[in-house]
Amino acid sequence: MSRRRGLWQHEHGFTLAEVMITIVIMGIVFAIASATWFSVVESRRVDSATNQVAADLRLAHSSAINRLGTAKVIFSNTGSTVACNGVAADYCVIKPVGAGSDSVPGHLPDQTVVNSPNLLADPGGGTTSTIEFAADGSAKALGPLGAVGGVTDNCPPGTPVGVPRIQIASDDGNPAHCITFTAATSQIEID
């Protein structure tokens, strides 16, 4: 029995203070890591939404050229939804098909919004702004370009006022990306 007691005499455990310090340090590391992780996830969500809208703009452009017709992409200039083929959507792509057209609703990832901050309302009023692609490859905004009252964007400061742009952002506005395009060539750029 004395031999057994001798083996346990040199065993030491952790003190309560050491355990508590370890738990506090692990909590701090977890808090920093989770904040970074959530900002990365939010940034990736906005990147995905931006790429999706840019791809749909390019699809509308190529559909107009290939079908020798007019294609449109309709956005809300208030950050709400638009009606597209009987469905509430974040934006609507209207492509020429045969003698008619096909409306495809565009849905963004959760917690992202699309704004058209410098595309004013289409002629006739309303809350939509439309970008129209012609068969010759040109693009134009149907409404005038300017600043929508009360709506600000995070587009690069050097973006000229007369260049149509669309902002894709998280619900709180940051992070955000802007899609701009040249009306004459329909070249689409993401900031």
Closest-CA residue to 137 (of 63, 48, 54): 63
| Total structural domains within the chain | 1
Give a yes or no: residue 11 inside a domain.
no
- Could you tell me if 57 and 181 are in contact, meaning their C-beta atoms sit under 8 angstroms apart? yes
Give a yes or no: residue 29 inside a domain.
yes
Output the pLDDT for position 16.
92
Which residues in the chain land under pLDDT 50? 148-151
Domain encompassing residue 125: 16-190
Output the pLDDT for position 150.
44
Give a yes or no: residue 157 inside a domain.
yes
Give a yes or no: residue 8 inside a domain.
no
Using one digit for the tens of pLDDT, what is the confidence trace for 144-178? 666 544 445 566 666 655 677 788 888 887 888 88
Output the pLDDT for position 98.
77
Give a yes or no: residue 2 inside a domain.
no
CATH classification of the domain holding 76: 3.55.40.10
Give a yes or no: residue 185 inside a domain.
yes
